[in-house]
Structure 1
């Protein structure tokens, strides 16, 4: 197993476990289908959408009976909501697409919660993943003149002891971009290093992200450069001392 694969597996395990515990503490009945696989996003991102249909259809089969589908990864939910149009739009497909939610969006919009009684006494920097921000509209973008809002910031600002640090570039891409980080490695790494330096310059102790892919990219660069930063999925922070 490569270092990236190992890191991604560890990140997914920790964030999935934190998501499960968090939702159960919020009195949500959670079921984890054991036969689920990838939603098909990697193939779609690489230009092989037609080859991803099997994975997309299996995702629908696994989740069609549930009221909501919640994932701690904005890019996965974006793919389900925006790219499952490659499937025949049966009632089951439409239901899954409509009922798929990114974790922070589910907590704030469906459960109507922001204050989760969490405690995390650290200086935190929020990295906003592009799929969640610009695709799912979980916050306003600096390139638009919309009134400022951020679903993730609303949740973090309610965490006791947490100091949300202001960054110089609040919504800049980290450079991961799926296969972009493979085919344009040098640019991807430089973008990631810029994001990390912005957090260091802003006196951040912990970078938090709501997307596995951004988390893996940033943590990999931080570990290789031995930077004095910790990276945590937002579910891990929201689940602290709840």
Structure 2
């Protein structure tokens, strides 16, 4: 099994520790993982801004870099979703179809491809999970409250195996944090209010650390936490699953 690691642009620039934790996790699991050096953005920011067809070059570059891998793994549900669902704007060659079918968010890959639940991690803290919109309603990484189906959550299934970690249920677990990509820029006031509501929900639930499958959401929440001096920390799920405390 050859696995290509895709690190989104904002993680590469602002949160490199998330990319490192993801790589180390995959290596611990004896995955034959490589990082194609020619990779860039998947094209999602342009699409979110209404310029989807301007992202064709980024889409083609992504396919070129990852076409020879059996799986593509990324610590970002939103990027995985974008490749799976929005790469229909480029010709659907066999290579494009293969890439779209085989791109996975990290938790989904560990749990459903590698069939691993316990990663030997230790993290003695009270943790609240933020279920990011693209991963939840796009990739179906968990059940949504509006659907009459059995409850499940890939991220919580993995976190429940972490030694010392206490999962703290929040009141509105699948509500958007307000980031929404460029929504946070074009609708700043609404975005901030949604984010503050999300932070307050976690505070009232006794959470010490908020985690998610998307650093973009955590970045938005972290900004609000820091500016308003709230007693919370944020960590990507890869950092927790890779921890030994």
TM-score, normalised to structure 1, is 0.95
- DSSP-derived class of the 1:30 partner: strand
> What is the correspondence of 1:77-116 to structure 2 with a 5 Å cutoff?
77-116=80-119
> What is the correspondence of 1:221-232 to structure 2 with a 5 Å cutoff?
221-232=224-235
Number of the residue aligned with 1:61: 64
Is residue 140–residue 150 contact of structure 1 (8 Å, CA) maintained in 2?
yes
Q: Does 1:137 align with 2:140?
A: yes
Give the length in aligned residue pairs. 237
Structure 1 residues 99-120: Cα deviation after superposition (integer angstroms, max 9, x where no partner): 1000000000100011111110
Is residue 12–residue 19 contact of structure 2 (8 Å, CA) maintained in 1?
no
TM-score, normalised to structure 2, is 0.94
Number of the residue aligned with 2:122: 119
Which one of the candidate residues 36, 49, 69 is aligned to 1:33? 36
> What is the correspondence of 1:174-185 to structure 2 with a 5 Å cutoff?
174-185=177-188
Structure 1 residues 1-30: Cα deviation after superposition (integer angstroms, max 9, x where no partner): xxxx9998332x111100000000010111
Which runs of no fewer than 5 residues in structure 2 stay unpaired? 1-8
- 1:213: how far off? 1.1
Give the alignment's Cα RMSD to 1 decimal.
1.4
Which one of the candidate residues 10, 14, 31 is aligned to 2:14? 10
Is residue 8–residue 212 contact of structure 1 (8 Å, CA) maintained in 2?
no
CA distance in 1 between counterparts of 2:123 and 2:244 reads: 8
- 1:90: how far off? 0.3
C-alpha spacing 1:70/1:204, structure 2 compared with 1 (3 Å): same
CA distance in 2 between counterparts of 1:228 and 1:178 reads: 25
Is residue 210–residue 232 contact of structure 2 (8 Å, CA) maintained in 1?
yes
Moved over 6 A (4+): 5-8
Which one of the candidate residues 210, 214, 224 is aligned to 1:207? 210
Which runs of no fewer than 5 residues in structure 1 stay unpaired? none
